[in-house]
Every structure is written in C-alpha cells, then in structure tokens.
Structure 1
C-alpha cells in the first residue's frame, strides 16, 4: 500500500489525482487530501437540485461533479478526504468492509465509530464521514470524507438546492453531522490530524510506502 498526501488544496487537481491513480495499471494506493472550500456532487445527481448555486457563486465556491455515485458533499480546510484505490477483486468493494481501516484509525484515538446502512461513518449517531465508490473493469475506488473541523454552517447552507430541479436524478440523504474535533482526543488542527492519520496507516499497512506528496 502506497500512502500519498496531496500537496494541493485545489479540488479539481485532487479529483484528477484520484482518477489518475485509478487509471494506473496496478498498485494499491491510499490517498489523503484537503480541499479548499468546494462542493462535490455525485455523478448521478442534478447540481441545481443539491446545491445552493447562487450562494456558491457569491462566495466563489466551485461546484464539481465526481466520477463516483453517492450524495453531494461540502469540502473545506477542516475536512480530510481519503481514497482507497486498488485492483478489482471477485468480492465487491462494498462487501469487503471498506470502512474498517478508518474505524480502526478512529479507535486508536479513543473514538468508537460504526458503519451505517449507506456506508457512512457514524459516531454517537452523528455522521462524520460519507463515502462513495467507483469500479472499472480492472480497478476500484472507495473514497470518503472525514469531518474534522468543517464549517458546518456553510455546509448546511450550500447543501440546500432546489428539489424541483431533480427530475429523475438521485437525491442526497440528509443526516445530522458532527466534527471529530468535538472529541478531546482530536481537538487539534486538521493538518495535525492528517499527520496522525498518515502515521497510523503507515503502521497499519506494515509494508506501506508513505509518500509525502505526488
């Protein structure tokens, strides 16, 4: 497992990096990145139905559509994104407990997390991570968010779209959310939390090659 931390906060760059790693002919990667404020919409969703686009334009928040399904998410510098990219196996990625490594990581900080019905991550009933996946003929991607110190007021504002614009597109499922910085063991700067995560996974995957950037 090669662990990569993106040096960029540009959401377009980081989404492209995910896709570039997915298009590698082989190899297992765990990518971490932190985006500047942005809204990332699932591939099967209608942007106007999910996002307050007027607010985003007024506040210069880019709205991008990713290759995977799932719901719309808000990113900012208080949110850590992770992506597991590997060769496709006979077992579906969603049937292989893909959240277990993240659950184990949070447990190392004394935080008990569990997977929800939609492969979201819950702590004390609050959503702290949403996930999505994408599979090609040979490769697979499972990625998600970790709300650490995200601006939840802006999150709730930007994720209010016009439902009349949805048509037959897939709707996001709202959930109560909480930042992981709520818990004393993670009451730190988000960049420091990222360093702790990389350190944890470098040990978790004992033969991991940890790369500071890509």
Structure 2
C-alpha cells in the first residue's frame, strides 16, 4: 500500500488529487490530508439547500463537490481527512474494511473508537468521522 501524507490544504487540489490517484493508479493508496476552511458537499446534494450562502460569501469559504455521496461537511485545519483507494473492489460496501485500521490506530493512542450505524466512527458516543465511498472501476 502506498502511504501519502499530503501537506497541501487547498480543497480543490486535494479532491482533484484523490480523483487523479483513483483513476490513474492500480495499487492501494492511503492518504492523510487536511483542508483549509471549506464546505465539501456530496455528489448528489443540492448545494444551495445545504449551505448558508450569505455566510459562505461573507467569509469567502469555498464550496467543493466530492465524488462520493454523503452529507455536507465543514473542513478546516483542525480536522484530519483520510482516503483509502483500493484496487480490490470485493466487499466494496463494507465500511468496516476501511474503518477498522483507523480504530486500531486510535487504540494505540488509548482512544476507544467504535464503528456505528452504516458508516460512522464514534468516541464516547460522539461521532467524529463519517465515511463515504465511490466506486470508479
């Protein structure tokens, strides 16, 4: 597996980078990355119904659409994003395949995270990670 720590924080670049790796690499890839203040919307969302347009304009916050589904989320430098790109699409819809390594890593830091619902990770009952998938090949 190729491991990438991406230090760029431009949300347009970061989502384009994900797409580039997805479409041009056959090996498994894990990417850690952060975005400067931005709103990231899922591929099927009506953006105007998900955002406060006046606030977005007043604060010059970029709105970027991702390839995967899921809800709108606010990103800033205080959160870490992770991407798994897998060449093997067996069990593609099994979110635990991709969230279990995150849970195991957190255990090494004495953080007790749990998988919940369809695709969420929780700490002390509070959601800290929602997860979405996109199948290209």
Q: If the TM-score is normalised by the length of the shorter chain, which range does it land in?
A: over 0.9
Residue aligning to 1:58: 58
Secondary structure of the corresponding residue to residue 55 of structure 1: helix
CA radius of gyration, larger in: 1
**What per-residue deviation string (whole Å, max 9, x for no partner) do you get for residues 36-68 of structure 1?**
000000001111111112101100110111110
| Superposition map of 1:145-164 within 5 A | none
What corresponds to 2:77 in structure 1? 77
Q: Any stretches of 5+ residues in structure 1 without a counterpart?
A: 138-214
In 1, Cα distance between the equivalents of 2:74 and 2:96?
Answer: 26
Determine the C-alpha separation between the residues in 2 that align with 1:119 and 1:75: 18
* Superposition CA RMSD, Å: 1.3
Question: Offset of 1:8 from its aligned partner?
Answer: 0.9
Q: List structure 1 runs of 4+ shifted beyond 6 angstroms.
A: none
Name 2:112's counterpart in structure 1. Answer: 112
Q: Structure 1 52/115 Cα, relative in aligned 2: closer, same or farther at 3 Å?
A: same
Answer 1 or 2: higher relative contact order, Cα 8 Å, separation at least 6: 1
What SS does structure 1 have at the residue aligned with 2:127? strand
Instruction: Find the aligned partners of 2:109 and 2:95 in 1 and give their Cα distance.
Output: 26
Quick check: 1:88–1:135 contact (8 Å CA) kept in 2?
A: no
Tell me the residue number matched to 1:37: 37
Normalised by the size of structure 1, how large is the TM-score?
Answer: 0.61
Structure 2, unaligned runs of 5 or more:
none
